[in-house]
Amino acid sequence: MKLPILLLSALLAVGLLAPAGCMNVNVGESGHPSVQAGGPQVEEDIPVPERFVHKPGESTVNRVQGGRYLDLVYTGSASVVSVVKYYKDIGMPVNGWKFSKESSVGGNSDLEYTKGSEKCEVHVSRTLWGTKVRIVVSSAGPQPSVKKQGK
């Protein structure tokens, strides 16, 4: 009787731990998992955490002469803390973005960066289904009319 219970316990443990093991996650100094780059990039200089999925129906990409307007949405399962750490420590600096400020409310975080005449806002929030990352990039000057990506 003990063998089936042990076997069931082992299978449950493997099944519950396997999803975390599939993601390229290391535990950082803060005790939170660290996130690696590798998600589907829509723009070359806008990093995406590994295993985050782009939501084209919720995203906007609009380029005009001398500028761009992006409103990109991604979802994944990493914690808000680890995603914020990824953007602050690796993702944005490696792509030439200069940190401006950070604010946090209710477990959600907003980061602001600049690069040349562009401003980038990274909004990281927890949802019922995981973590949502919304990245808004705008150029100085008049903004183009907004079109949903893929439409």
Domains and CATH numbers, the chain: 26-139 (3.40.1000)
3-state SS, residue 57: helix
What does the pLDDT read at residue 130?
Answer: 95
| pTM beyond 0.85, yes or no | no
List, for residues 60-115, the tens digit of each pLDDT value.
999 888 889 999 999 999 999 999 999 999 999 999 999 999 999 999 999 999 99
Does position 117 have pLDDT exceeding 80, yes or no?
yes
List, for residues 26-69, the tens digit of each pLDDT value.
434 444 444 555 566 778 899 999 899 999 999 999 988 888 99
**Displacement of CA 142 from its chain's centroid (Å):** 27
What does the pLDDT read at residue 63?
Answer: 87
Burial (CB < 10 A; 0-12, 13-18, 19+), residue 1, is: exposed
What does the pLDDT read at residue 65?
Answer: 82
Site of tokens 């400020």: 101
